[in-house]
Amino acid sequence: MVGGAVGWNWQSGNWVFGVEGDLSATNIQGGTGGGNCGSPFICKAEIGWLGTGRARLGLATMGNTLFYVTGGAWASQNRADLLPGVGQFNEWKNASGWTAGGGAEFLVNPHWTVKTEALWVDLNSVSYAGGISPSGGIFAAGHMDVNFFVFRGGVNYKF
């Protein structure tokens, strides 16, 4: 996963309030195993890009560390391969849901920080229509439940 973020923070005493948005390109993949798609017929899934819009509430310590909780909206582009090997019907769909988590940000100097965070992502269930393969086979429709943790780190420049 690689991407960028923009945000705004306001500090009152030790409390920090902020908003931030980020966008990342990714190659997150998953699927069923053993060559049997089973039900709901999705054998492979991939997330091509993802982004968030989140609020942030944190507590700054005397040691130049900010501990924070964050939450908000999540969007991504997902692809499902329905019944690969029988016609390999692919479909890309945009999906949205929510995210929540927390992290820590460390002040390196007055303009640079480094951070690490963990987010839980819930995109609910994404439904995919069936289709007709080049060989004329018909595919059943399917869905995938997109829920996962994201652990990431970053470097920020403060203006």
8 Å CB contact between 71 and 99:
yes
Residue 53, domain member (yes or no) = yes
pLDDT over 60 (residue 134): no
Dihedral over alpha carbons 112, 69, 19, 4 (to 10 degrees):
50
pLDDT over 70 (residue 128): no
Residue 6, domain member (yes or no) = no
| CATH classification at residue 127 | 2.40.160
Residue 1, domain member (yes or no) = no
Say how many domains are in the chain: 1
pLDDT over 70 (residue 133): no
Residue 7, domain member (yes or no) = no
Q: Structural domain of residue 147, as residue ranges? A: 13-28+36-157
124 pLDDT band (50/70/90 cuts)? confident
Residue 8, domain member (yes or no) = no
Distance CA 123, CA 49 (A): 13
Residue 5, domain member (yes or no) = no
What's the whole-model pTM score? 0.78
Distance CA 83, CA 67 (A): 45
